[in-house]
Amino acid sequence: MKLKAQAQTKVKTKTRANPTLNLQRLPTSNLSKEQATRAKSKPRMKAKAIPQIKPKPTPNTNPTAKPTLNLQRLSTRLKPRLNPRSQPQPKSISSAFTIMETVVAVVIVGILAAIAIASSYEPDRLALAQDQIVRHIRYTQHLSVMDDKFDPQDPNWRLRKWRLRFGHHANPIYVGGLPNGWSYTIFADKDPEASTAPSISEIALDPHTKLLLSGGFNDSLKTSDRRATPEMALWHWRVKELQFTGCNQIIGFDEMGRPYNMSNSASGTTSKILTTTCKITLKDENDDTASVCVEPETGWTHEC
């Protein structure tokens, strides 16, 4: 009894939820004969298609006129439809070079180029020796002007002036083992009566390096001595020969900077004012030459 009551309640809820019945879906066994024939004979309704209304073409009143083109419509048709993925995308910041990276790269390339050029560059030793002699002759003139040797009670005061002396040494001991070496020394003679080489106390000092301004001359000061200036031994610049025109191997200056032609002999030191241009010619191992000139009266020293 309970099962029958539950089944009846289910049928009632179904009929309440669906009050309208579809006669076509119901089986024919539950319908009467008249209802079944009506359901079969009744045709199904089909949705009618809505007719599209085409715009009528505007009549051309002027048959001789040329047809006009709608450029805006044509441009939209001709415009290619690009795929957004195929379009070139702008580069991101991480894939580009910054200014700092470019500057660093340029600096590194410049340093490497400078190192490469410096390693392949061979300096002109003859020109460097020429420039050095010019500077040292000018410095000797400066010492003569600053350190006035004038003494009215000393008849030999002119022989005590500052001078630059070139020397040729056949003994290889004095020039670091190199034969036929030239060197020069800047000094002020304290004993003009003697014709010997200057002593250590008479040689000028380099104000920068505090070395003796001499390339070596005898056993008292060799080229290999730590107190000497090795660049003043001219074989350091591969200079093998010196020639003097208009002067001797000793050039001195008085308290006014005028150049003197000086010489040493057995009787002592002699000094005469320079009247012509003193020309010193340097020749290297390749027989290339360079010259230094000292003008009279003014003592102007220059490359010539």
Tens-place pLDDT, residues 19-35:
454 544 545 455 566 66
Nearest 5 degrees, angle CA 168-CA 188-CA 191?
95
Beta pairing partners, 289 = 283
106-140 tens-digit pLDDT: 999 999 998 888 776 778 899 999 999 999 999 99
Whether 204 is in a domain gets the answer yes
Length of the chain: 304
- Does residue 27 belong to any structural domain of this protein? no
pLDDT 10s digits, 140-158? 999 999 987 777 888 777 7
Residue 250, domain member (yes or no): yes
In a domain, 287, yes or no: yes
Task: For residue 197, give its domain range.
Answer: 125-303
Distance of CA 16 to the CA centre of its chain: 97
CB of 217 within 8 A of CB of 229?
Answer: no
Name the one residue in this structure whose structure tokens are 């289910």.
Answer: 10
| Residue 218 maps to a domain | yes
The tally of domains found in the chain comes to 1
pLDDT digits (tens, 9 = 90+) for 247-259: 989 999 988 899 9
Structure pTM? 0.60
On whether residue 68 sits in a domain, the answer given is no
Position 26 in a domain: no
